[in-house]
Amino acid sequence: MKAVRVHPKGEGGELRLEEIPVPEPGPGEVRVRVAWAALNQMDRWMCRGVPGFRFPLPLTPGCDFSGTVDALGPGVAGVEPGTRVCVAPGYSCGACLPCGSGRQNLCRRFGIYGETRDGGDAEFAVVHAENLIPVPDGFPLDRAAAFPLTFLTAWHMLVDRAQVRPGERVLIHAAGSGVSVAATQIAHLWGAAVMVTAGTAEKVRKGLENGAEKGVDYRTGDWVAEARAWTGKAGLDVIVDHVGADTLPQGLWLLARGGRLVTCGVTSGRSMELNLAPLFFKSLSLLGSTMGSLGEQKEVAAHVFDGRLQPVIDSRFPLEKVARAHEKMESRDVFGKILLEVGGETG
């Protein structure tokens, strides 16, 4: 089969399109014939390299993908070949205390397809049967590939960690990123008002279309002053940050009493100087978040399939043009998800 493979090169990895054997599903596993896969920041980190983390290269990237069930491994029941599915990207041991209490993302053996084992940038992918999410008839498989990781991440940040409430004011950085597109819609769904920041006027416009009430281009405007003006000096209730060094320190000063800042990444840098005075003076919470539970993944999927949350697709590339898709991601000229067409809609 055709598969994208990342091979070790220097500190990171190098993308290649290769022919490799079709994988066989083991006990409890299912083989999916992939229709569409979506790019995530993870794919770029694998190529760039992450200090202190070793990807098990060579590896097939692709955390998000959809397709049809192709073959069942030993012991798998209740799944019909031909079923249209997308895949929950996170898997865990299923036996430990966090797993037993429905917090799979805290499992010490938690992993992600396309990060810790082969993912979906290939004609076939093998996944754990419990990770299959059936896609309703009439819901297109390209959109089904465009939401699992980012909408789960944003849902867990806002609903579980920050516990957003109706009427609260939420600031979301980098409006066009996959997580921020999802976070904007999720905060809106929960009845919060959203302000977004973005690096171009066009992305600000799309952020407003995506449900934000206020947007600021941080290259031409002062987002700190704009956020203060937007809240009438009361302060923000929640900040969703995955930018890090460039935004997080100022964010703490913008929060209202009892405010929460939740972070899932540090794209601009992971080391920064923080003044902790507002943290205790204003009873703030600084929260970290990675992925979410399998239950949350299914909850998010139901909202997507019912149309209450809407995956946003930026662009589509054939599998053969995976390098071009990565260049597009690296350019940051993106609003929503970049998709790879592998087999296309087959269901």
Nearer to Zn ion, 8 or 94 (CB): 94
**Residue number, nearest CB to Zn ion:** 107
Nearer to Zn ion, 107 or 284 (CB): 107
Which spans of this chain sit near Zn ion (rule: CB under 5 A)?
Answer: 92-93, 96, 99, 107
Q: How far apart are CA 154 and CA 327, in angstroms?
A: 24
The two tokens of residue 78 are 């209740």
Nearer to Zn ion, 92 or 310 (CB): 92
- Residue 108 CB, nearest approach to Zn ion (Å): 7
In 277-331, which residue ranges form alpha helices assigned H by DSSP? 277-281, 294-305, 322-331
- Residue 96 CB, nearest approach to Zn ion (Å): 3
- Residue 109 CB, nearest approach to Zn ion (Å): 6
- Residue 98 CB, nearest approach to Zn ion (Å): 6
Q: How far apart are CA 149 and CA 88, in angstroms?
A: 7
- The answer to whether the CB of 38 falls within 8 A of the CB of 61 is no
- Residue 110 CB, nearest approach to Zn ion (Å): 7
Burial degree of 280 (CB within 10 A; 0-12, 13-18, 19+)? exposed
Residue 128's nearest CA partner among 115, 118, 143 is: 118
Pairing of strands 169-172, 193-198: parallel
- Residue 100 CB, nearest approach to Zn ion (Å): 8
Number of H-type helices and E-type strands within the chain: 11, 17
Nearer to Zn ion, 45 or 91 (CB): 91
Q: How far apart are CA 67 and CA 221, in angstroms?
A: 43
Nearer to Zn ion, 79 or 96 (CB): 96
Nearer to Zn ion, 110 or 305 (CB): 110
Q: How far apart are CA 337 and CA 37, in angstroms?
A: 10
